[in-house]
Amino acid sequence: MKKIGIFYGTNSGKSSAVAEEIEFYLKKEQVKLYDVKEGVEAVEDYENLIFVTPTYGVGELQPDWEARLPKLQNMDFKGKLVALAGLGNQLAFGESYLGGLRILYDAVVEGGAAIIGRTSPEGYVYKESFAVKDGLFVGLALDEDNESVKTPDRIKHWVSSILPLFRD
């Protein structure tokens, strides 16, 4: 069985619900959920990681993630596989959609992580997103404020694409 750590930060609960939904689709695996409000120390215990964050401010990281960012920036991510999922609002924040996701991406890539689960921006309606790099989102892009109906399918397909890549 694959051991996977899911770490999320949330202000209003949508990201924790998404983390639980990801856990649901990973059903046969050994998964543990962590609210980063309680810390990120447990990240060290996993080779298989999923980070979930909404974006706040204008393209900024969720505050609990932001508070833990220096700790993440000091961690060694070499040998770790990291999949990222972001929540944002494409209509209200169409020019800073998912900016927080890119901040997390940069931190873990800098630490040596291998990123899995990048996705196509096709079909999304935002204007600008810092989370798009070389034509792809750096992770799974969700919009619970405007497109919640699409979320279960998006998560399901994404999980089935990353699951074979995680280490046993």
Ligand X SMILES: Cc1cc2nc3c(=O)[nH]c(=O)nc-3n(C[C@H](O)[C@H](O)[C@H](O)COP(=O)(O)O)c2cc1C
Question: Contact residues for ligand X (CB under 6 A)?
Answer: 10-15, 54-59, 87-89, 93, 96-99, 144-145
Q: Which residue has tokens 């405007």?
A: 146
Q: Please count the residues of the chain.
A: 168
Q: Which is nearer to ligand X, 125 or 165 (CB)?
A: 125
- The minimum distance between CB 165 and ligand X, in angstroms, equals 25
Partners of 145 in beta bridges: none
Do residues 89 and 11 lie in contact, with contact meaning Cβ atoms separated by under 8 Å?
A: no
Report in angstroms the alpha-carbon separations of 123 from 31, 134, 141, 148, 153.
30, 17, 11, 14, 14
- The minimum distance between CB 98 and ligand X, in angstroms, equals 5
Q: Which is nearer to ligand X, 48 or 62 (CB)?
A: 62
Give the type of residue at 73: Q
Residue 94 has φ and ψ, to the nearest 5°, of -65, -15
- The minimum distance between CB 9 and ligand X, in angstroms, equals 7
Q: Which is nearer to ligand X, 81 or 141 (CB)?
A: 141
Q: Which residue is nearest to ligand X (CB)?
A: 88
- The minimum distance between CB 137 and ligand X, in angstroms, equals 12
Q: Which is nearer to ligand X, 5 or 88 (CB)?
A: 88
What's the CA gap between 8 and 51, in Å, rounded? 6
